[in-house]
Amino acid sequence: MLTLICRHFLACSSYYYALTAIALLVMMPTFSFVPEGEHLEQIRQRDFITLHTRNTPTTYYEGRHGPTGFEYELMRRFADRLGVSLNIDASHHPESVLPAVREKGDLGAAALPLLTDTPGIHYTRPIINMQPLVVYRRGLNGITEPSDLVGLSLGTLSGAGTSKALRELQEDYPELSWRESHELEVAELLAQIEDGRFDAAVIFEHQFRINRLFFKNVEHGFPLGDPVSMAWAVPSGRGLGLLKAANRFLEDLQQTGALDQLVARYFGHDDYLEYVGTRTFLTHLDARLPRFTEDFKQAAENTGFDWKLLAAIGYQESHWDPEAVSPTGVRGLMMLTRPTAKEMDIENRRDPAQSIDGGSRYLRSIMDRLPDDITGDDRLFMAMAAYNVGLGHLYDARKIAEMRDGDPDSWADVREALPLLQQREWHSKTRHGYARGGEPVIYVRNIRRYYEMIEYVERSRQQFFQLEQTPVNADPLLMFELIPPLD
């Protein structure tokens, strides 16, 4: 059995993963008295698998279309592979996941660091590498190396894997001290940096990549120590069937490229928004959007769109400026042309309520005119692209997609075809000719990201509400354990 497991793990994609696997085997007890598939068979008989996780943007949360998150998406696919339903317990903090897996089963997926000395737990093959990262409050200069952390008010989360990097650093800098908590999550820790309660923190780089969009006063510092592997946890002593099934599933995802696609979707999409632009967006989110929120909600009620999507379009069009005017005479918060305003019976394009109403009804009219074969998000994204470039050019791009053996009903294929409208080789074959087809691609991409940010900020405000209700005389640092200097 050990030979089989060793051969499986040594086939991993990196030497680092192989060494990790060997370390795990050294710690692995003998399971000769436990049927290999006992746990897995129990899961299949009861027809569900229980996932112990955390409610965070990087693991599991309620999104626009229901549950989402990187590890939720992985687990949903794994449950489908097993042919069972998924039962979620997201009430955990980092230190409570593993005890729950040991005592209740079945599987822990909560950005868990792969540790070889965890009793009662087996870890799967590594999923992704997680790099500990120092982040700090904007305005603190010179935070560029480990020695700069000495004397700072420093925080991290216990049980998440980042405290290990700090303990290793403390061996070289015994005067280093920090606080760690198992009661908070990354977003709450970053909020405490913004509030001035901490100077800096150590989190994982992929966590910062997502959350930095919402904490404009927290800066990227420097990597700290070596990466650790994210893995799933299963209880030991109940057979290796579930562990093997999970490893086969994860290996398949890695070999087919599906895992890389999920990583890019959840952790790699903030590179197309410049951080400076993000700060401007967040400033306008607080200063401008509240004035128009009720207008967006009314328009959403009339047209069936999510008001946050309409708000995202409004930001892309004008930065929520009702006086905006383009060089071509397009004007207003939703930047309506004269013909569009006339078609939508809008008398004053500079009136924000009229502009929002007209823009949202125009978007709905575009969606209603698209072929019935275009469905779901593909239909929405194509309607947004047509809002920007015109319905005729969208149809031309669909034709080009078909000419290139693509699917004209798929946004992914039409998105690839739109920029070709700028090339004579292609636009000469279409009805409406040349168009700046790259613009609607960026247009849709930005709106999707603005929407995600508005949705996340709205959700964060609800999550942080309880923190804001903390009594004034309560010391937030009581939620942290002080790790003192060594000397």
Among 406, 475, 409, 275, smallest CA distance to 420 is for 406
Distance between alpha carbon 26 and the CA centroid of its chain, in Å?
A: 35
**Count of beta carbons in the 10 Å neighbourhood of residue 486:** 12
- Measured in degrees and rounded to the nearest 5, phi and psi for residue 17 equal -65, -40
Q: Is 317 assigned a catalytic role?
A: yes
Other C-beta atoms lying within 10 Å of the C-beta of residue 14? 11
Which of 114, 116, 118, 82 minimizes the C-alpha distance to 102?
118
Q: Which of 219, 251, 317, 452 is catalytic?
A: 317
Distances (CA, A) of 375 to 72, 93, 306, 371, 383: 24, 39, 17, 9, 11
Contact criterion met (CB below 8 Å) for 422 and 438: yes
Q: How many CB atoms lie within 10 A of CB 455?
A: 16
Q: How far apart are CA 394 and CA 417, in angstroms?
A: 9
Nearest to 319, CA basis, from 446, 459, 452, 441: 446
Give the separation between CA 204 and CA 223, rounded to whole angstroms.
9
The burial of 322, by beta-carbon neighbours within 10 Å (0-12 exposed, 13-18 middle, 19 or more buried), is given as: buried
Whether omega before 270 lies within 30 degrees of 0, making that bond cis, reads no
The structure tokens listed for 160 are: 């998440």
Start-to-end CA distance of the chain, whole Å, equals 47
Q: Which positions are annotated as active-site residues?
A: 317
